[in-house]
Amino acid sequence: MLSSPWDAAKNMESAAAMSKELRNWRDVGDLYRMASELYIECGRSQPASDALAKGARALEDSLPEEAIKLYTDACTILEEDGGEQMAFDLYRAATSVYIKLEKYTDAASFLLRLGLAADKCNATNSQTKAYLSAIIVYLYAQDFKQAEKCYNDCSQYVSRIDGFLRSDHGRCASKLLSAFKDGDIEDIKRITQSSTISNIDHVIIRLARKLPMGDVNAMKAHSDTTKEEEEPLDENDLT
């Protein structure tokens, strides 16, 4: 009422913190959203994003779906303001919640979103690390076809920068996919113990160290069958 949205936002954050102490989880999310909107009114994207991130962290255990929405909106605010580099930890946090919920496709998609944000910031190491992480998530979900597609797409996309294929993360992904193609369980386990994988995010390391999941040969056979079914007919090839 006094036309001081900054002070109002601070008070909303305090109210949200009190609601957290009272374990009124719905109020926590609502109040942090109101605080964020007030910061936006002030033209301050960073504190607006921070408010949503605080809400997300508070709700990870009690309302994980709502936490993901808050993390996603917090990332969007920074993206729209050209502050992608400030959102890297938020992408990772959202990915972690998706993995806890066993929503592996969504987790991989968020890692690819991190990769695109890293590209805009010329953070090539973070970019290639995100792409290797996405491939590991797909393999953990026993989706070899999508893991391979992700590798091919990332290789083509990053080639115009420094080259995913030439990066340590790209080489590691290539070796891992080759081991899956060969059904070589010992090689898979050896690769997942490599220093390259030891230096990615802990939540992804835990998935990698559990590879392979299920029957490697069956996963590859299913991928090959799907490819054959999707392969278009070449009218000039009569063999």
Give the burial string for 131-156 (b: 16+ CB within 10 Å, else e): bbbbbbbbbbbbbbbbbbebbeebbe
- Note the pLDDT of residue 238: 37
C-alpha span between 182 and 239 (Å, rounded): 27
pLDDT tens track of the chain, all 239 residues?
788 999 999 999 999 999 999 999 999 999 999 999 999 999 999 999 999 999 999 999 999 999 999 999 999 999 999 999 999 999 999 999 999 999 999 999 999 999 999 989 989 899 999 999 999 999 999 999 999 999 998 887 655 545 788 899 999 999 999 999 999 999 999 999 999 999 999 999 999 999 998 877 766 665 555 555 555 544 444 33
CB atoms closer than 10 angstroms to residue 74 = 28
Cα Rg of the chain (Å, integer): 21
- Here the tokens at position 20 are 């957290």
Tokens 């806890």 found at:
100
Tokens 């960073």 found at:
46
C-alpha span between 12 and 238 (Å, rounded): 70
CB atoms closer than 10 angstroms to residue 160 = 8
For residue 198, what are the CA distances in angstroms to 127, 133, 147, 207? 17, 11, 20, 12
Predicted TM-score of the model (pTM) = 0.87
Among 97, 48, 51, which Cα is nearest to 77's? 48
C-alpha span between 116 and 84 (Å, rounded): 9
Whether the bond between 47 and the residue before it is cis, its omega within 30 degrees of 0, is: no
- Note the pLDDT of residue 237: 43
